[in-house]
């Protein structure tokens, strides 16, 4: 299933669209467990996640992330005034009476002062009426949309020349 911007959030990322060209560098999958995205009935931690629970859309998390990045109000270019690499650190969903998702991203910006790494978390939650794949992917997309909206704010800030502070260790 392709990425679709979640309807539970704003249709476009918050903040003004960047006024500069942005180069998207490496898009990577840095999850510790790439075989699973969570569990039924309760959260299973990545080290314990069962392989029977299919990974995010067709197992191609990088494509899913790249598709999400392309929805941002950003002028992507081969050569940019702002350069950013993006990694997905976590993409989990768990369900019981509710379906919940948690997506964590890490972006590294190339700045005149050197690389700055920032982290973003996104969440999605809704009532679990059926628990089918469509509902699960809808919540995964909601989590990714939430995280991408925060990333878009930092891209806009970087385009405006504002200094970005590194994420705490």
Q: Per CATH, is 21-159 categorized as 3.40.50.10610?
A: yes
Phi, psi of 133 (to 5 degrees): -60, -40
Largest CA distance in the chain: 50
Decide: 88 and 105 in contact? Cβ < 8 Å.
Answer: yes
- How far is Cα 85 from Cα 136, in angstroms, rounded to an integer? 27
Residue 148: its H or E element = helix 133-159
* Residue range 8-49, pLDDT digits in tens: 444 445 555 567 899 999 999 998 877 766 555 555 444 444
* Residue range 88-101, pLDDT digits in tens: 999 888 877 888 88
pTM of the model: 0.80
């Amino acid at each position: 299933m392709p990425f679709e911007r979640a309807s539970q959030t704003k249709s476009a990322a918050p903040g003004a669209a960047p006024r500069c060209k942005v180069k998207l560098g490496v898009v990577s999958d840095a999850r510790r467990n790439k075989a699973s995205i969570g569990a039924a009935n309760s959260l299973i931690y990545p080290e314990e996640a069962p392989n029977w629970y299919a990974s995010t859309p067709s197992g191609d998390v990088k494509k899913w992330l790249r598709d999400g990045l392309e929805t941002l109000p950003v002028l992507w270019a081969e050569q940019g005034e702002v350069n950013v690499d993006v990694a997905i650190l976590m993409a989990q969903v768990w369900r019981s009476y509710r379906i919940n998702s948690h997506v964590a991203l890490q972006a590294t910006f190339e700045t005149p002062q050197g690389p700055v790494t920032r982290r973003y978390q996104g969440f999605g939650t809704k009532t679990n009426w059926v628990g089918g794949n469509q509902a699960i992917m809808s919540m995964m997309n909601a989590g990714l949309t939430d995280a991408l909206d925060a990333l878009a704010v930092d891209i806009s800030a970087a385009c405006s020349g504002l200094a970005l502070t590194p994420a705490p260790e």
